[in-house]
Structures are given as structure tokens and as C-alpha cells.
Chains A and B, each alone.
Chain A
Amino acid sequence: MNRVLALLIIAGVAIAANNAIRDKRAGLGAFSSKENSKISKAYLTKSVRGRKPYEVGPGSKKLENGSANVVTSVVVDYRGFDTLGEVTVLFTAAAGIGLLFGRRRRIKLERPSAVVRTIAPWALFFILLVGAYIFLHGHLTPGGGFPGGAMIAAGAALMLMSIRPKIKHIYLKVLESLAGITFVSMGLIGLFKKGSFLQNFMTNGTLGATFSVYFIMIIYFAVGIKVASELSSVVGEFDEMEENGGNE
């Protein structure tokens, strides 16, 4: 029963996606090239600095994509599906590592030196702050979900080396799943409201404002949480080892 249901859902999504791709209206489907040059010009000549040759400056409204960073526009909006694929690849890698590395006993590290023990909490504070900043501010500045999440995971690695807390993998899994569900459901809402998977269906607001492109903000938040929890979980797996040596 579940399998039939899943197959039906997949078939429906496939048909809707197929229709959206073959849309011949200008600027909508994958094969319509009439508006392409106009679109690329509109978002490649965009800047928050408001220099002369840029046509879209800070404070512009009613843009096709309200992100101030061209790379973000492409990664999250125009090619959001690729980002979903990347996140899936990372998830598969994390799941594979979880399968390979049993987790029963933590490896022994010698007690870190006084310098590490003193500096680590402060360094951790800044690493986690910058990581969160990078993915929360990803719609305006370079960076985004992947680097921000990876930076938080690097903070987790430092935490494991210095303070050595016990990682609770179940919380990381719940966080990671919630973030994945958010990402996919944003895509599905876009599909049913605008006719294309992961299409921007929210208001863009003013270019350069902190709260402007809600679609990109939500997706980058989800990607950041997902990447951070996945990579932290991987780091935690590396810290634990099977009972019989773990050296295959």
C-alpha cells in the first residue's frame, strides 16, 4: 500500500515537472530562449553598491529575484534543483559513513593543552557566530548554506577535540530531517503555485534589505541546518570507534 502511494506521488510529480519543463511560453520552460538574454542581463548587472553601470541598485523593488548576490540567485533560485541534488549527495555520504563506522566507544585523545582548553570556547563562539551569519546573510553576501553549515560543523569538530561533549546523534538526525522536509516542501509549494519545482513564490521585497528575499532566506536556513547537522554527525562518527579496534 505504501509503495503504491509512493509510486503515485512520484508519478504525479514527474508529470507536473515534465509539463513545467516543456512549457513553451517565453521565459518559463527550459527550451524557451526568447527571454533568456533579457533575464541574464537583468540579474548579472545587479549590485548593492549602486555603481553607475549597474542598472539594479540598492532599494530596487519588484525584481525577478531579490538576492543581492548573483551566485545566490543562481544557486538557490534559478538552479535550486541542483542544490537539492548536492544536499542529497551529502546526505548519502553521511549515511554511508554512519553505516561504515560503528559507534560504541569513543577514541581516546590525550587531554588538550591549557592553551587549547582556554582558547577553544572563545574561538568556538566566533566560529559558530560567523557560520550562522554566513548562512543567515547568504541572500546578501557571498556564502550561504553550504559554507555556513560546514563552518558550524568545523566548530563541532573543535568542540569534540577540546571540550569533548557527548554527541547525541538523534537530535542531529531530527534537525537534518526537518531541514530536508522544509527544502522539499518549499519546492513542492513552488511547483503547485507557480508551476515549476523550487520556483520563487514569495515576495522579493527591497534589494539589499536584511529581510528581503524570504524564499532564499528560508532555503538557505534549511540548507545551513542540514549541512551543519550532517557534517557534525560525520565528525561525531569519526570520534567513535568499534569495540574491536576499528582498523579494517
Chain B
Amino acid sequence: MTLYELTVLILVLVMLGGAAAVISLRTLLSAAIAEGIVSLVLALLFLLMSAPDVAITQAVIGAGLSTALYLWSLRRMETGSARDGKEAANE
């Protein structure tokens, strides 16, 4: 097994772990962060496979913008449910 294959394998395993964390974490905030980590590792993987165009797009949109939008949605949900007298949305 070459170094390249080993690196790809490790990155894929990290991605799998992150994906499992997304569905198993109890709080939505942690799940959103884990999703961003999966995207970031995917961007690294693209870079390793010499596709810098895709890597830049994945890093910006997957890891940056979509995580920010998730966090914003969470804030909206919290504000909405706090006004309704419910507990903060964390499931």
C-alpha cells in the first residue's frame, strides 16, 4: 500500500466517522459542525486527487457557506421556539 493510498484511506475513514457523528450527535449545533468537518476532509481528498477546482468549491461552499447557513437556521429555530415558550430546539 503506497503512502497515497494510505492517506486516502485515512481521510475516507475520517469522513465516515464525521458522517456517523452527524447522525448520532444529540445537539444540532454539533451535528452542523461535524457536517462542516466532513466537507473539509472531502475538500482535502479532492486536492489530493489533483482536482483543485473542485476542492476550492467544496471548501468554500461545503465547509464555509453551508455550515454558516445551518447555524443561521438553528438560530432562527431557537428564536422561534423560545417565543412559543418551548425549549430550545436541540434534537
Binding site for B on A (CB under 8 A): 69, 71, 107-109, 134, 142-144, 146-147, 150-151, 153-154, 157, 161, 231, 234-235, 238-239, 241, 245-247
**B28 sits at the interface (CB 8 A):** no
Pairwise interchain contact B56-A153, C-beta atoms closer than 8 A: no
With A144-B53, A247-B77 already in contact, the answer to whether A154 and B83 are too (CB < 8 A) is: no
Q: Name the residue of chain A whose CB is nearest to the CB of B69.
A: A238
Tell which of B61, B72, B81 touches A150, judged by Cβ atoms closer than 8 Å: B61
Please, which residues of chain B bring their CB within 8 A of the CB of A107? 75-76, 79
Does residue B80 face the partner (Cβ distance < 8 Å to A)?
yes
Q: B60 contacts A150, CB within 8 Å?
A: yes
- Closest chain-A Cβ to B73's Cβ sits at a distance in Å of 7
Any A CB within 8 A of the CB of B84: yes
Question: Does B57 lie at the interface of the complex (its beta carbon under 8 Å from any beta carbon of A)?
Answer: yes
Nearest opposing residue in chain B for A152, CB measure: B60
- B89 to chain A: closest CB distance in Å? 9
List, in ascending order, chain A residues with CB within 8 A of B84's CB: 245, 247
Q: How far does the Cβ of B81 sit from chain A's closest Cβ, in whole Å?
A: 6
Q: A151-B60, A154-B64, A247-B81 are in contact. Are A71 and B53 (CB under 8 A)?
A: yes
Known: A151-B60, A234-B69, A238-B73. 10 other contacts (CB 8 A): A143-B53, A143-B56, A144-B53, A147-B57, A150-B61, A157-B64, A157-B65, A241-B76, A241-B80, A246-B79
Closest to A151 in B: B60
B68 is an interface residue with CB less than 8 A from chain A: yes
Q: Decide if B52 touches A235 in the complex (CB within 8 Å).
A: no
Contact A142 B52 (CB under 8 A): yes
**Bound-state Cα–Cα, A107 to B81, Å:** 13
- List, in ascending order, chain B residues with CB within 8 A of A142's CB: 52-53, 55-56
- Considering only residues 5-58 of chain B, those with a C-beta below 8 Å from chain A are 52-53, 55-57
CA distance A235 to B66 in the complex (A): 10
* 10 A-B pairs (CB sep. < 8 Å): A142-B56, A143-B53, A147-B53, A147-B61, A151-B64, A241-B79, A245-B79, A247-B76, A247-B77, A247-B84
